[in-house]
Structure 1
């Protein structure tokens, strides 16, 4: 056994090796020395910087798989493999150039750059790679090649992996052949750390010629005879043996359970797919329990490859996919064409279930076909057209193949109609109901119908469809496992739009109680928070609407009800204080700004002032006009209310006052702020009219007409929500009471917001007449 660091020779095999040896590279020349070095590794792993074990016996090498320290690949070997350099491999593996001229210098081989690299590596002291020739023993050149080919990259790639990944020209094919000729044809079957063989790498890179070449190498077409020696054994490369080796190579799977066929499918190379399938028609059936090439091709929408896999496999292929899915699960998301093909090839896939128990119909239920029609409320006029169009939908084809799939629940108890409702697929629900109306009453493990699911997922289109379809009137009042109807849930989530759709349907009962004895009115009361809140909130509007429609409370005593309300709506005084504080800081900016603007407008009047040499010099030129008096009064109101709001906000933000006083000051300030904004807009409109009317009357009128939009915008939430409630209240209360109630609400709101107009324009009229 020899050391490459120039030190004294090691002790004989029967003598214990020195524990303090600082070995960088050790070469074992016999089997006994190899075992001795293994013992050294176990004893000196913590003290030695690096140890490389090399055996040069008749057929003995240390297997890489059993070596705890894999040999690093020679950088020059890796460079030659990545660049497809046959001459570089000749020099590194044989110690001579390809044309037999052993006197040629390394840097004369291919390029000056490559030569410089070879010269640098051969001249430097490399302690991890055996650049010096190994002592002769039988065939030192073959042993040198075997040693170099043991090297791997950090990813576990061998030189053959590098060749296969980087090209497919004649030079790269020559490199692959050279590596296999050096007695290491098993490198074709050598996986890297990801389990990829060189064939995987070639297929991933799209090197179809290299794929074909590697297959020929596995078959034994490496030249120089019909037999090849591997690890001392002779294998026949003709007949069944070669076919078995090719089949073994093609069917090797990496750690993701994928063959080279998966890589060909992933890059969309149909020619490579045909090449691989011609070599092994059973390849499309691998893996047995993972993602099949067909499933992958469907996901990638490679229709041509899908056809190739089916035709080349003699209809014997795997339909399996990831997470227990099959090819039909993937096809329903890729359109009608692929769905029809898969069902024609294997209709039994319709009953397949993934790891969550979902069938392909569960997946197909999420497809949309008529959402636009449903949103426009055009379902009834275009029902026939929708039905005809639905015959081209994936749901239709899956149900035609297996009508019972509509009644197949997943592990959560959800049927396809529940899944469709959860994503708002109105078209799919329409197909299901038209095909089998009884499926509308299916319940999940929580006792919910698809209408309950739609309410909880805020799918308003589904709720609108259910309320407009007379076939579904039987489910409107169905109760879940907690006794809640769809109306209970709509009130609980606080959605005014969903509530209006259900509330406007007279078949929806208002006074049904759940298992807690609560009606929708009770729930609406619990949704109103204690403390400060806006009466324009959806929860308050829902409660008011139910009260107007005559809804009743449940079976709970009133005192018990209030006690329970107080417990569930815990009043947090600290949170209320923070709410008042934040509101004060925000509103104070606006009130001060309005007060500043109106104060400035008082002394910068439109039209200017009379000159001092005129009668009443220094007075406004437009004084005495009706519009001027209205302008001054509106500006005064805006300033006064802004000032009052500022004072109220100062008090509401002060911790010296108790909580109730601070809330009262905040409410007063908020109302004064709204009123000051109204007066400020009036000031603007009247001032512009006063200046423009003598010369541009139409423009002045247009500005005065547009200005009130600010006031409407201030109350947009009020008008929008009452517009939503108008039709449901009309259905519930009748025309007379609905109109009376609506008129009262409008008049009350107008007086609440616009009463300053009475004083502004009334005073102007009085002053002008006087």
Structure 2
């Protein structure tokens, strides 16, 4: 924004302005300058300023390109040389229009439809002064010239002749205007595409060769082939994207160094590997004699793309350029980081497992790629990214146990590598809940030296497992005698402290993982850290506000009360719809149960009665626990009692069902009756499935400790 200050001469018309005031002329040439100008006007006296604004910095003498004539566009898209020849041979506006029939026959445009079209446009064209120059310079809404349209729509003999005609006419016009910069062959549209881009994108091999031949006549071969569009891509990229190896060969034969461009941005080789065009990648390397660009977006190289595609290109790229293994992207990730980020489980492994197909397949995704990368550059295993993560950390975070084992087997010291916050791969595995990695590390004797390593906060893997509340990961670490359970972190906390903090205040289940972890540590010699108990309690065991406790009671009551009412209803109905039916009235003791007196019947009645009584007690307990008139402490007691009786009613009802079916079927289907009795306890087992599983973990833990 330019400002010019000068003293204005005194004038009668300027009497409203003080003679001592300076007139200021402010010129804004951009949107930012306009805003500054507005602020200046608001702050100062606007009568002392002359404001001049400009919407852009474009040259005012620059003329926008003309819109392409519809007849030229139609003829170019159809590849009709005769129509183009007639239109381009007109020598500007004439005083007397040429008869349509004479002109068409003289120039070869003999089609009746074309004659009608020329007649329809001729008057308007003469009024607007349409001539050969404006026809050649006309563009579509996308900025395409006539040569763009011809190049994109065909490569037959007619289209090649059309390209020749347009190029020849264009050269003649430029010579007459002494302008060498307006050659249509290298003109770019709104997207930056030249006619060569359009021909390559459309897969027109002959047209690509023809345009290259025309560029040779003008000595602009390299300039044309290396010209980039707005996406920083050459015509070679377009050929690679559509997978046309023939066009790739034509382009590289004309310019063997074309694969080196663009100098900054995604290379054609990266694009070929990303699209798994191995033959094109080989062509790029062979035709360029090994002098080509390997770069991709965001600082990646072709090897980053190859390791994710699991192709043979990894081996070829390592043969071509081993320096690719140490190059990191914008995040510092090397190709080995990319390979490590791949999970082991894939659909091939699932199919082999389910169908038991006994054919060889890779033990893990990327196993061969990893071996080749390590053989080419073992130091890549010790190269971190910008977050300080090594490849072994990445493999552990995705749960790739096979790859972690391979890294440790190849370089045992890599197991102790730490990231920027001091974590080993075991810390990362615990934080990401990768139980297979945690189990592998705890069971591998050679890794005992990393089990008690602490991160920057002083936490071991056992601290993090207690923090995560995962009983399985905790048990995997706890069973190893090399794991110390009383290590103190920088907050003076042991794993027992963390486990105690993880138990939710207020109402909670004693069978929760957090409660079990705390119980295990407490009963096996775990010690608290260096806090006073009163300070510890005030700092870590903060009671939830009463409103949240009331919400817990309310939600639990609503969910459980439905179940207890249903059980009571079923038990009540079963009492008056006994298995085996009733005796007829004309018999002795008519109306009594037919199966009365049997042991199974008596057991059925008792089980059904207990189910009804327990469910009724549970229903009453839920009613009291959901009543707002009762104080919170009493409501908790009612809720706990009701839950106990409801589980008891489920057990009794399952027993009543098994006994009732047994009584009815045993005389006629003994095996079926036994099968029903055996499977009925599954209801009880499922009701307490969490308790059974955790008891199993505890049993395994005790067995390992006894060994």
Q: Is structure 2 residue 418 aligned with structure 1 residue 431?
A: no
2:151 aligned counterpart, secondary structure: helix
Q: How far does the alpha carbon of each residue in 1:238-294 deviate from its partner, in whole angstroms, 9 at most, with x for none?
A: xxxx2xx01111000112211111111111111111111000000000011111111
Q: What residue in structure 1 maps to residue 198 of structure 2?
A: 201
Deviation at 1:104, TM superposition (A): 5.2
Q: Is structure 2 residue 181 aligned with structure 1 residue 190?
A: no
Single out whichever of 531-540 and 285-294 deviates more from structure 2: 531-540
Q: Of residues 162, 173, 176 in structure 1, which corresponds to 2:160?
A: 173
Q: What residue in structure 1 maps to residue 415 of structure 2?
A: 440
Q: What residue in structure 1 maps to residue 216 of structure 2?
A: 219
Q: Of residues 253, 256, 268 in structure 1, which corresponds to 2:243?
A: 268
Pairing of 1:444-463 with structure 2 (within 5 A): 444-463=419-438
Single out whichever of 288-297 and 273-282 deviates more from structure 2: 288-297
Q: What residue in structure 2 maps to residue 288 of structure 1?
A: 263
Q: Of residues 561, 564, 567 in structure 2, which corresponds to 1:594?
A: 567
Q: How far does the alpha carbon of each residue in 1:716-748 deviate from its partner, in whole angstroms, 9 at most, with x for none?
A: 11112222232223333x26xxxxxxxxxxxxx
Conservation of the 8 A alpha-carbon contact between 1:455 and 1:486: yes
Q: Of residues 469, 479, 501 in structure 1, which corresponds to 2:476?
A: 501
Pairing of 1:78-89 with structure 2 (within 5 A): 78-89=73-84
Alpha-carbon distance in structure 2 between the residues aligned to 1:652 and 1:65 = 86
Conservation of the 8 A alpha-carbon contact between 2:136 and 2:145: yes
The number of aligned residues is 627
Shift in alpha-carbon separation, 1:280–1:106, aligned structure 2, 3 A: closer
Pairing of 1:28-67 with structure 2 (within 5 A): 66-67=62-63
Shift in alpha-carbon separation, 1:313–1:606, aligned structure 2, 3 A: same
Conservation of the 8 A alpha-carbon contact between 2:170 and 2:184: no
Q: What residue in structure 2 maps to residue 558 of structure 1?
A: 533
Conservation of the 8 A alpha-carbon contact between 1:692 and 1:699: yes
Alpha-carbon distance in structure 1 between the residues aligned to 2:629 and 2:120 = 85
Q: Is structure 2 residue 649 aligned with structure 1 residue 676?
A: yes
Q: How far does the alpha carbon of each residue in 1:365-407 deviate from its partner, in whole angstroms, 9 at most, with x for none?
A: 33567999x99xxxxxxxxx99999996222222222222222
Alpha-carbon distance in structure 2 between the residues aligned to 1:120 and 1:683 = 96
Alpha-carbon distance in structure 2 between the residues aligned to 1:390 and 1:690 = 57
2:312 aligned counterpart, secondary structure: helix
TM-score, normalising length from structure 2?
0.82
Shift in alpha-carbon separation, 1:76–1:545, aligned structure 2, 3 A: farther
Alpha-carbon distance in structure 1 between the residues aligned to 2:580 and 2:363 = 71
Deviation at 1:188, TM superposition (A): 2.0
Q: What residue in structure 1 maps to residue 388 of structure 2?
A: 413
Conservation of the 8 A alpha-carbon contact between 2:662 and 2:677: yes
Q: Of residues 152, 160, 163 in structure 1, which corresponds to 2:150?
A: 163
TM-score, normalising length from structure 1?
0.76
Deviation at 1:452, TM superposition (A): 0.9
Shift in alpha-carbon separation, 1:310–1:656, aligned structure 2, 3 A: same
Conservation of the 8 A alpha-carbon contact between 2:104 and 2:110: no
Deviation at 1:456, TM superposition (A): 1.1
Q: Is structure 2 residue 583 aligned with structure 1 residue 582?
A: no
Q: Of residues 601, 607, 622 in structure 1, which corresponds to 2:595?
A: 622
Deviation at 1:310, TM superposition (A): 0.8
Q: What residue in structure 2 maps to residue 27 of structure 1?
A: none
Shift in alpha-carbon separation, 1:464–1:100, aligned structure 2, 3 A: farther
Q: What residue in structure 2 maps to residue 382 of structure 1?
A: none
Q: How far does the alpha carbon of each residue in 1:677-705 deviate from its partner, in whole angstroms, 9 at most, with x for none?
A: 11111121111111111211221111111
2:433 aligned counterpart, secondary structure: coil
Alpha-carbon distance in structure 2 between the residues aligned to 1:105 and 1:622 = 115
Alpha-carbon distance in structure 1 between the residues aligned to 2:345 and 2:589 = 75
Alpha-carbon distance in structure 2 between the residues aligned to 1:110 and 1:537 = 88
Conservation of the 8 A alpha-carbon contact between 1:78 and 1:159: yes
Q: Is structure 2 residue 67 aligned with structure 1 residue 72?
A: yes
Pairing of 1:480-499 with structure 2 (within 5 A): 480-499=455-474
Alpha-carbon distance in structure 1 between the residues aligned to 2:581 and 2:67 = 93
1:618 aligned counterpart, secondary structure: coil
Q: What residue in structure 1 maps to residue 29 of structure 2?
A: none
Conservation of the 8 A alpha-carbon contact between 2:86 and 2:108: no
Conservation of the 8 A alpha-carbon contact between 1:417 and 1:439: yes
Q: Of residues 639, 649, 658 in structure 1, which corresponds to 2:612?
A: 639
Single out whichever of 501-510 and 145-154 deviates more from structure 2: 145-154
Q: Is structure 2 residue 658 aligned with structure 1 residue 661?
A: no
Single out whichever of 492-501 and 335-344 deviates more from structure 2: 335-344
Pairing of 1:114-193 with structure 2 (within 5 A): 131-132=125-126, 135=129, 144-183=131-170, 186-193=183-190
Single out whichever of 174-183 and 616-625 deviates more from structure 2: 174-183
Shift in alpha-carbon separation, 1:164–1:633, aligned structure 2, 3 A: same
Alpha-carbon distance in structure 2 between the residues aligned to 1:522 and 1:371 = 40
Alpha-carbon distance in structure 1 between the residues aligned to 2:561 and 2:69 = 76
Single out whichever of 183-192 and 319-328 deviates more from structure 2: 183-192
Q: What residue in structure 2 maps to residue 727 of structure 1?
A: 700
Aligned-CA RMSD value: 3.3
Conservation of the 8 A alpha-carbon contact between 1:64 and 1:150: no
Q: What residue in structure 2 maps to residue 612 of structure 1?
A: 585
Conservation of the 8 A alpha-carbon contact between 2:344 and 2:399: no
Alpha-carbon distance in structure 2 between the residues aligned to 1:405 and 1:515 = 33
Single out whichever of 168-177 and 320-329 deviates more from structure 2: 168-177
Alpha-carbon distance in structure 1 between the residues aligned to 2:104 and 2:420 = 84
Deviation at 1:449, TM superposition (A): 1.1
Shift in alpha-carbon separation, 1:388–1:333, aligned structure 2, 3 A: closer
Alpha-carbon distance in structure 2 between the residues aligned to 1:117 and 1:582 = 79
Q: How far does the alpha carbon of each residue in 1:387-428 deviate from its partner, in whole angstroms, 9 at most, with x for none?
A: 999996222222222222222221111122222222222222
Conservation of the 8 A alpha-carbon contact between 1:264 and 1:273: yes
Q: How far does the alpha carbon of each residue in 1:23-48 deviate from its partner, in whole angstroms, 9 at most, with x for none?
A: xxxxxxxxxxxxxxxxxxxx9x99xx
Single out whichever of 456-465 and 684-693 deviates more from structure 2: 456-465
Q: Of residues 516, 519, 532 in structure 1, which corresponds to 2:491?
A: 516
Alpha-carbon distance in structure 2 between the residues aligned to 1:92 and 1:116 = 14
Shift in alpha-carbon separation, 1:353–1:612, aligned structure 2, 3 A: same
Shift in alpha-carbon separation, 1:661–1:257, aligned structure 2, 3 A: same
Deviation at 1:167, TM superposition (A): 2.2
Shift in alpha-carbon separation, 1:703–1:391, aligned structure 2, 3 A: closer
Alpha-carbon distance in structure 1 between the residues aligned to 2:361 and 2:573 = 64
Shift in alpha-carbon separation, 1:110–1:553, aligned structure 2, 3 A: farther
Alpha-carbon distance in structure 1 between the residues aligned to 2:65 and 2:415 = 64
Conservation of the 8 A alpha-carbon contact between 1:638 and 1:676: yes
Q: What residue in structure 2 maps to residue 102 of structure 1?
A: 103
